[in-house]
Structure 1
């Protein structure tokens, strides 16, 4: 146990129950996970800013920010589909859970953003609110141009065969962070801007059913000897 603790280089929490993490259950969805990735990215970015440059951190930080945006888009797509069905949509677009799962089996930001725009257009909203706002759309396009496959911020080298190339580039680290800012809070932006029907649907998505689903409990640190 002591050897494992040494490898982790982590102090023990002040309280025993602080070692326990709970995940799963009715309250966990892509938006909840997106918030976790966002918090990890912000914590690491603040550490980088406070303690000086560390070339090992930018890519993991950018990956966590990017994954937070990807999960937020997937959550919004599911909720837009849910709201459309609730409004009685019976058009050609297949909004079934099975088709949604297939459609969301991608890391491509542009593809997800296009899908969200299509689904927003199905809702009974003012025309201007049936699309992602221009600032967020611009930053999503920029992010897609930086990392279309979801690999650029995840690996040291991306691509295959002759197209293999280093993912890391020398640049001012804060520039991409500032560029991502509008897209990081896309769910909040859409909820603030959208009409009452979309807001009501989003609010209903935060309600927790009375019967919980499976919950996993795990201790991050070894128990005392």
Structure 2
């Protein structure tokens, strides 16, 4: 058998490129979601330059997981903003209760519906408090492709080992990957910035 060193990754050009920083106060679902998105984009570019049919499912999973984590980050932030706006409705929006609910689902549609519901509680937001229809349509499509978060992770899903893709098919992977690429970037760069700006506005107003 060949020496195991033959399987090493290429060495970085600079020694400081060997170091990665993990954890700490700067690490949250949004930063990790951004990492999944970056890796998905890099892998997709690699596929289109040099197709390899082992890559599409992991790429779809990376995009989907980025979207799931971003939605969970948005939901937590929306809940905090709603409480700061004085929400006193029937739903418990405490950080602990929201985190508990989110830990029990990977369903994109449920997460999108939850985020939309929480947006309705933001009383000072000047723009429409809802996910735009085109984005919502893409989120529902993604949910229909992988409702549980397992179809893009495994070949067999569920306790009975049902094939995730029982019939071989040729898909327009360029179109599908681009749809998820656009959706993930819109959530990561657009929706998060908008809601973070709203929270900054709330904090500014609290000084008056």
1:125-140 residue pairs with structure 2 within 5 A?
125=124, 129-140=128-139
**Shift in Å at residue 178 of structure 1?**
2.8
**Kept after mapping to 2: 8 A contact 1:70/1:107:** yes
- Give 2:6's aligned residue: 6
1:114-153 equivalences in 2 (<5 Å)? 114-125=113-124, 129-153=128-152
Q: Are positions 1:183 and 2:183 aligned together?
A: yes
Asked whether the equivalents of residues 153 and 167 of structure 1 are also in contact (C-alpha less than 8 Å), the reply is no
1:172: which partner in 2? Answer: 172
1:90–1:30 Cα change, 3 Å: same
Provide the secondary structure at the position in 1 that maps to 2:22: strand
What is the CA-CA distance between 1:85 and the residue it aligns to? 1.4
CA RMSD of aligned residues (A): 2.5
Tell me which protein shows more strand as a share of its residues.
1
In the other structure, the counterpart of 1:59 is: 57
Whether the 8 Å contact between 1:79 and 1:202 is mirrored in structure 2 is no
Equivalenced residue count is: 198
Structure with the greater relative contact order (CA < 8 A, sep ≥ 6): 1 or 2? 1
Pick aligned residue for 1:93 from 88, 91, 94 = 91
Looking at structure 2, the residues matched to 46 and 57 of structure 1 have their Cα atoms a distance apart, in angstroms, of 11
2:206 match: none
Contact 2:74 2:192 in 1 (8 A): no
Residue aligning to 1:211: none
Q: Which residue of 1 aligns with 2:18?
A: 19
CA distance in 1, matches of 2:70, 2:175: 22
- Measure how far apart 1:126 and its partner are: 5.5
Check whether the contact 2:108–2:147 (CA below 8 A) recurs between aligned residues: yes
Q: Superposed, which structure 2 residues align to 1:26-65 within 5 Å?
A: 26-51=25-50, 53-65=51-63
- Over 3 Å counting, the alpha-carbon distance change for 1:127 and 1:165 in structure 2 is farther
Partners of 1:34 and 1:67 within 8 A in 2: yes
Q: Distance in 1 between matches of 2:29 and 2:177?
A: 22
**SS of the residue aligned with 2:154?**
coil
Structure 2 unaligned spans of 5+: 204-208
2:56·2:173 contact (CA, 8 Å) conserved in 1?
yes
